Amino acid sequence: MKIHHLTPEEALDSLGSSMDGLADAAIEGRLHEFGFNRIEESKKTSALLLFAQEFLHFFALILWLAAGLAFFAESQQPGEGMATLGYAVLGVIAINGCFSFWQRHQAEQAIAALQKLLPHQVKVIRDKELSLVFADELVPGDLLVLEEGDNVPADCRLLEAFSLRVNNATITGESLPKGRDALASDVEDITQSRNILLAGTSVVSGEGKALVFATGMHTEFGKIAHTLKTTVKSESPLQLQISRLSRFVALLALLLGVVFFFIGQIIGLTFWENFMFAIGIIVANVPEGLLPTVTLSLAMATQRMAKRQALIRHLPSVETLGSTTVICTDKTGTLTQNRMAVKQLFIDNRFWQPERLGSDSLQHHAAFLANAALCHNLKRVEGKDLLGDPMEVALVAMAHDQGMRVAYPKIGEVPFDTDRKRMSTIHNTPAGKYLFCKGALEMVLPLCKQIAIDDQIEALDDAHRQQLLTALQTMADQGLRVLAFAYRPLSEPVDEHPEQALIFSGLVGLEDPPRPEVADAIAQCHIAGIKVIMITGDHPHTAVAIARQIKLVQSDKPKVITGDLLKKLTPSQLQVALDAPEIIFARVGADQKMHIVDALQRKKHVVAVTGDGVNDAPALKKADIGIAMGRAGTDVAKEAADMILLDDNFASIVAAIEEGRAVFDNIRKFLTYILTSNIPEVIPYLAFVLFKIPLPLTIMQILAVDLGTDMLPALGLGVEKPDASAMNKPPRSHKESLIDWRLLARAYGFLGLMEAAAAMTAFFFVLNRGGWDYGEILRSHNPLYLQATTACLSAIIVMQIANVFICKQRQRGLFSTLLLDNKLILSGIVLEITLILAIVYTPWGNALFGTAPIDSEVWLFTLPFVIGMLVLEDFRKWLVRRFALFPIRIEPIKLRKRLG
């Protein structure tokens, strides 16, 4: 038999213990056998190894190869500037590695947070003496002494209990304190047994003695920790996209470098010319600023989200939010305000609003109001309001509002527990001793023989009982939590079982009001194609009623799945059930959340899940986006989550999703911007090989663009605010890539070619003006050659200044876009202009980048190309809007009518 099925004496005997506690001689042996009462920490990869990994991924290896080739070339051909190139590429590797390490180095603190919940010292009876011992030294068989306010350090079986109530929320997710006693239990689930105290929970009231039967990782608490430790967090969509993109770009660069090396060999270039050419191709095609720009863009997006009450813990989660297709949300505190309020009363056989009881309510309903004011376990802390169960706080507030502010001494209590579903308190009043009882109607009504109606006490007949049951159903259908009130005067001496022959005084309907902004947020989710699923431990009637209030469900019969039914469903049945357009999970335990998440992920959904308790942690970690509550959430939930809601508000999730969608769009914007400059960087090398002209652009000048002038404008594109239409379209498919053929065609085949044309034309303009003849060889230090390469570089940068405004908006024309609303882009342009002027007109810039001053005529020469690119791109966007978007723009109402 399990320990909770045994009597206290049998439980002690099964663990070789007694009411005197364990002998000291037995403790050391058990400590050696069972180990310390600790939660094992997961093995962590050393920070040094994590740091090293950032310099050894495929993207980095290509850059290492380029740097190595540059240093090898310098050793064979000194004085060609290849060493400078090598050091520059090493600088690129260092920047990428350090930023990526900062992003990745998020230490796993979930197990540490679990450990913090356990108390450091506990009261134990050993060898007949009460002593304080460290919690991690507890062993099975130890006898604990617990009282109000104590945390439970191990799984225990109660031996004695006096009005004991515990808060199990951190383990089971139950919000209400539960009564506990020492009687043998016949339930199968040990976590639901009334004689069991679980590690990580806390004693709300009362006192007792308990027998330790499980410690450390063998506790229910430890099992949650083990699940959390073994739950593998899958890579975010952005991580997968960046990984694929890095491999694609790196392989393309390497392949082009090898191919053009052999082309150079075929057309008769020397080995070292080919070698330099191949390195140039590799460097030109690797967007060195990509990874740090992505990381910085995500970091700045997290700052914007924090202002909207969403704190991001893992940077890739920013973009994952944007691809979310399903949100699984708790009800209490997230969709509702997490504060109970009395909404409706049923007194004198009719419904009342609390504020309409009237000025004579204190006289006509004194017993009812006294019940609300006195029957509770609240504590008053000096200088603060009443602390305790929010439901009891609401009842006392209602009584006070009606003028009932009595504080008669409590001389006895029959505590609440899950089986009785009621509690009673006994008070000394001026009229004598009175018992006040409150609880579920089905548990209170059988104890009543009379009912108070219009200041008269009448016999409680079947007609009255039916009226009360009908009123209960009416109130429950409104989503109210309903309590029944009853009372009786007590004679001396007080009966051993005072809860009998009660006088029924009324029903109270309490609600946790929905947050006013949630309905709009739910509507926005529906427009955005995001499915919202409520997962709650509340009664199905309450869940459905709240769902209707916030417009989560609008049909007559939404699909409701209870926790008991969920246990019976096979994985395939659950997946089919999730196809229902409106679905609610009620009376569901937090441990069942992970099954729902698994099923949704098998259906290829990107799932966001909210949670606040210890037992929510595995589901939070398993989900694509785990969202913990900042106010009500435990440390464990916060450590397992990717995002923390600072205000516990569902509307903040929707705001974060909007920001996440903007991130993906912004990354594509700056990818277009960065990749566009690859073409004017590659074409000079192709022209150099194929047409035997002087090399129009040096490798150092390529790096000046990729890591200098392009960086800040690209970052400015990465932090663009969400577009007004971001939430008016369905979630992006998980198969959609950051780079597709349309982006490449636009960057490489359209914008890039125009920039290359401007750069090459500027190069030849300076050469021809200086008297260069085709076939003439120009040395690398020739002033004319330096001016020509400077003109090529300057043209690329001027065109990129125009390109940043082009990439700012993917579909709208230039003049229908706010051009000056992004301060980072404007700062980037100022920096871009400053850098190119420094490169062109300062001695150190000339020496480092191989440039020479150019006159104003060269700058003016590029302006027609800038204007031409702006006009042609606006014309292209107009064509896309006219011929691609217009035919598929169907009004949603018309579509609904057709489908209906």
Q: For tokens 């003006």, what's the residue?
A: 769
pLDDT at 858: 95
Q: How far apart are CA 70 and CA 86, in angstroms?
A: 5
Q: How far apart are CA 477 and CA 509, in angstroms?
A: 11
pLDDT at 852: 96
- Checking if the pLDDT of 895 tops 80, the result is no
Catalytic residue among 330, 389, 642, 723: 330
Cis previous bond, 493, omega within 30: yes
- Checking if the pLDDT of 537 tops 90, the result is no
Q: Of the ranges 229-233, 779-783, 822-826, which one carries the lowest mean pLDDT score?
A: 229-233
pLDDT at 532: 95
Q: How far apart are CA 678 and CA 249, in angstroms?
A: 11
Q: Where are the alpha helices (DSSP H) in 402-509?
A: 441-444, 462-476
Q: Of the ranges 139-153, 445-459, 759-773, 850-864, which one carries the lowest mean pLDDT score?
A: 139-153
CB 227 within 8 A of CB 616: no
CB 70 within 8 A of CB 85: yes
806 against 887, higher pLDDT:
806
Nearest to 341 by CA among 514, 520, 168, 587: 514
Is residue 330 flagged as an active site residue?
A: yes
pLDDT at 633: 65
- Checking if the pLDDT of 106 tops 60, the result is no
pLDDT at 119: 45
Q: For tokens 């990749």, what's the residue?
A: 675
- Checking if the pLDDT of 892 tops 60, the result is no
CB 713 within 8 A of CB 829: yes
Percentage of the chain beyond pLDDT 90 is 30
Q: For tokens 């008991």, what's the residue?
A: 564
pLDDT-derived band of residue 303, with 50, 70 and 90 as boundaries?
confident
The SS3 call for residue 717 is: helix
Burial of 78 (0-12, 13-18, 19+ CB in 10 A): exposed
Q: How far apart are CA 623 and CA 596, in angstroms?
A: 10
Write the pLDDT tens digit of every residue in 507-533.
999 988 888 899 999 999 999 999 999
- Checking if the pLDDT of 113 tops 50, the result is no
pLDDT at 598: 92
What average pLDDT does range 96-104 have in this prediction?
A: 63
The values of phi and psi at residue 784, to 5°, are -65, -40
Write the pLDDT tens digit of every residue in 736-771.
777 778 888 999 999 999 999 999 999 999 999 999
Nearest to 138 by CA among 227, 194, 195, 221: 221
What average pLDDT does range 462-469 have in this prediction?
A: 94
Q: Where are the alpha helices (DSSP H) in 267-289?
A: 271-285
Give CA torsion, residues 644, 646, 650, 653, to 10 deg.
Answer: -50
Burial of 252 (0-12, 13-18, 19+ CB in 10 A): middle
Bridge partners, 422 (sequence order): 439
pLDDT at 744: 87
231 against 787, higher pLDDT:
787
CB 200 within 8 A of CB 39: no
Nearest to 792 by CA among 868, 707, 862, 712: 862
The values of phi and psi at residue 631, to 5°, are -90, -50
Other CB atoms within a 10 A radius of the CB of residue 25 amount to 8
Q: How far apart are CA 63 and CA 90, in angstroms?
A: 8
Most confident range, picked from 115-129, 173-187, 326-340, 545-559: 545-559
647 against 560, higher pLDDT:
560
Write the pLDDT tens digit of every residue in 153-183.
899 999 988 778 887 766 665 555 677 888 8
Question: What's 336's DSSP letter?
Answer: B
- Checking if the pLDDT of 888 tops 50, the result is no
Q: How far apart are CA 279 and CA 317, in angstroms?
A: 36
pLDDT-derived band of residue 900, with 50, 70 and 90 as boundaries?
very low
Q: How far apart are CA 854 and CA 550, in angstroms?
A: 66
Q: How far apart are CA 438 and CA 155, in angstroms?
A: 31
Q: How far apart are CA 561 and CA 533, in angstroms?
A: 11
Nearest to 749 by CA among 572, 623, 872: 872
Q: How far apart are CA 27 and CA 673, in angstroms?
A: 69
Within 13 Å, how many C-alpha atoms sit on residue 285's CB side?
Answer: 28
Write the pLDDT tens digit of every residue in 17-35.
999 889 888 888 898 888 8
Burial of 606 (0-12, 13-18, 19+ CB in 10 A): buried
Question: What's 539's DSSP letter?
Answer: -
Mean pLDDT (the chain, rounded): 82
Residue type at 53? Q
Q: How far apart are CA 412 and CA 398, in angstroms?
A: 23
The token duo for 519 is: 């309905």
Write the pLDDT tens digit of every residue in 445-454.
999 999 999 8
pLDDT at 161: 85
The SS3 call for residue 416 is: coil
pLDDT-derived band of residue 238, with 50, 70 and 90 as boundaries?
low
- Checking if the pLDDT of 897 tops 50, the result is no
What average pLDDT does range 63-72 have in this prediction?
A: 78
163 against 231, higher pLDDT:
163
Q: Of the ranges 41-55, 63-77, 213-227, 632-646, which one carries the lowest mean pLDDT score?
A: 41-55
Within 13 Å, how many C-alpha atoms sit on residue 475's CB side?
Answer: 28
Nearest to 641 by CA among 335, 291, 330, 337: 330
What average pLDDT does range 198-227 have in this prediction?
A: 82
User: What is the pTM assigned to this prediction?
Assistant: 0.64
The SS3 call for residue 78 is: coil
pLDDT at 233: 52
- Checking if the pLDDT of 266 tops 60, the result is yes
Contacts of 232-235 spanning 24+ positions with Cβ under 8 A: 233/621, 233/622, 234/624, 235/316
Most confident range, picked from 93-102, 400-409, 523-532: 523-532
Within 13 Å, how many C-alpha atoms sit on residue 692's CB side?
Answer: 9
Q: Of the ranges 128-132, 238-242, 486-490, 668-672, which one carries the lowest mean pLDDT score?
A: 238-242
CB 227 within 8 A of CB 279: no
Other CB atoms within a 10 A radius of the CB of residue 866 amount to 18
CA distances from 379 to 151, 414, 755 (A): 18, 17, 74
- Checking if the pLDDT of 294 tops 50, the result is yes
pLDDT at 855: 95
pLDDT-derived band of residue 329, with 50, 70 and 90 as boundaries?
very high
349 against 286, higher pLDDT:
349
